[in-house]
């Protein structure tokens, strides 16, 4: 179980339809679309594992069992591959999550991110992390690990933030703050998907959170927010009355894999950072740019 300073649990909301990626998502869950040879969700789980997280809660739709199966042993494939020392065998073994730490919770109605987190309530007993797999963050120190450090020092809820162009601000939750010290912003308000003119800052919330369990109570009245959905941002905003909330400008690059161009940029960025593919990718891009 979680002690106050020890964040060992992460929640991944993965129940979304992935409509931006239709028709692919007719048959493949958005979270399983690959960035090179690994599905998007693998990057999120790996980030959490590298930050010391041990318990993985997937809030899933009833129609996407493959997202969970990806982290389970595939005995049939293991048999087919045969040699346990082969490179392929290693590739299918390195991403496994032990059964007792792999929890699936079903969200059967698309009622929003806040509702998805609330669905995990029976498994939350202390502070926990939330990672939205659509937001891929490439960094030296895992983004969620950076945030756990901030949580340990401050005992405050922590949301990841980054500056975004004001013309895109209405896609995000946006913080209002009363002071900042370096990368730490003390939050006094937040609003989900504000119109450009109404945004309190250009600091957008990115899909990484460290939350106290009290968030579950805030979510339990199922208040509808923007888009007719139960918004996590609204619930965190209410927490500000009784608890501190910090906006943390993380070190690293974030790619919005929830849309096609963001996913393409992520592909190229991951490939160009990989020694194995670097020079080929540069060559491909150079050739394409000549046309």
Which residues lie near ligand G1P (CB under 6 A)?
A: 113, 132, 135, 172-173, 192, 204-207, 232-233, 258
What three-state secondary structure class fits 178?
strand
Residue 246 tokens read as 């910090």
The residue number whose beta carbon is nearest to ligand G1P equals 173
Minimum CB separation from ligand G1P for residue 113, in Å? Answer: 5
Q: Cβ 196 to ligand G1P, closest distance in Å?
A: 15
Chain centroid offset of residue 256 CA: 10
Give the nearest distance from C-beta 233 to ligand G1P in angstroms: 5
Nearer to ligand G1P, 52 or 110 (CB): 110
**Residue among 45 and 164 whose Cβ is closer to ligand G1P:** 164
State the nearest-atom distance from the C-beta of 190 to ligand G1P, in Å: 8
Distance CA 229, CA 224 (A): 5
CB of 78 to ligand G1P, least distance (A): 36
Nearest to ligand G1P of 219, 232 (CB atom)? 232
Complex with ligand G1P: residue 97 or 230, whichever CB lies closer? 230
Nearest residue (CB) to ligand G1P, 145 versus 207? 207
| Both structure tokens of 169 | 């601000």
Which letter, b or e, does each residue of 200-228 get, where b requires 16 or more Cβ atoms within 10 Å of its Cβ?
A: ebbbbbbbbbbbbeebbebbeeeeebeee
State the minimum distance, in angstroms, from the CB of residue 254 to ligand G1P: 8
Q: Given the complex with ligand G1P, which of 44 and 113 has the nearer CB atom?
A: 113
Nearest to 200 by CA among 149, 247, 138: 247
Give me the least distance between CB of 13 and ligand G1P, in Å please.
8
Number of C-alpha atoms within 13 angstroms, CB side, residue 62?
2
39 vs 112 by CB, closer to ligand G1P: 112
| DSSP 8-state class, residue 173 | E
- Minimum distance, C-beta of residue 80 to ligand G1P, in the bound complex (Å): 38
DSSP label at residue 252: S
Q: For 77, how many CA atoms within 13 A lie in the half-sphere containing its CB?
A: 12
Q: Between 97 and 113, whose beta carbon lies closer to ligand G1P? A: 113
DSSP 99-139: GGGEEEEE--S---HHHHHHHTGGG--S-EEEE-TTEEEE-
Task: Choose among 152, 216, 159: nearest CA to 183.
Answer: 159
Which residue, 242, 211, 9, is CA-closest to 113?
211
Q: N- to C-terminal Cα distance for the chain?
A: 57
3-state secondary structure of 236: helix
């Amino acid at each position: 179980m979680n002690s106050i300073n020890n964040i060992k649990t992460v929640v991944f909301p993965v129940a979304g339809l992935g409509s931006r990626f239709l028709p692919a998502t007719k048959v493949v869950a958005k979270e399983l679309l690959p960035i090179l040879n690994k599905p998007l969700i693998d990057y999120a789980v790996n980030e959490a594992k590298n930050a010391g997280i041990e318990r993985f809660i997937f809030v899933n739709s009833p129609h996407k069992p493959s997202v969970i199966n990806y982290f389970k042993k595939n005995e049939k494939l293991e048999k087919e591959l045969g040699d346990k020392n082969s490179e392929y065998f290693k590739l299918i073994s390195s991403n496994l999550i032990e059964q007792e730490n792999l929890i699936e919770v079903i969200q059967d109605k698309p009622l929003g991110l806040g509702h998805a987190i609330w669905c995990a309530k029976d498994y939350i007993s202390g502070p926990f992390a939330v990672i939205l797999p659509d937001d891929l963050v490439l960094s030296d120190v895992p983004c969620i690990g950076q945030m756990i450090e901030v949580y340990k020092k401050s005992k405050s809820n922590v949301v990841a933030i980054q500056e975004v162009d004001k013309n895109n601000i209405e896609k995000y939750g946006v913080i209002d703050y009363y002071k900042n010290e370096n990368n730490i912003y003390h939050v006094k308000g937040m609003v989900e998907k504000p119109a450009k003119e109404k945004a309190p800052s250009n600091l957008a919330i990115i899909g990484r959170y460290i939350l106290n369990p009290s968030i579950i109570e805030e979510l339990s009245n199922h208040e509808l927010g923007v888009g007719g959905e139960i918004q996590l941002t609204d619930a965190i905003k209410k927490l500000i009355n009784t608890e501190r909330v910090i906006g943390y400008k993380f070190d690293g690059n974030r790619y919005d894999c929830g849309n096609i161009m963001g996913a393409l940029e992520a592909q190229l960025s991951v490939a160009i950072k990989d020694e194995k593919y670097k020079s080929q990718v540069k060559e491909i891009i150079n050739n394409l740019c000549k046309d």
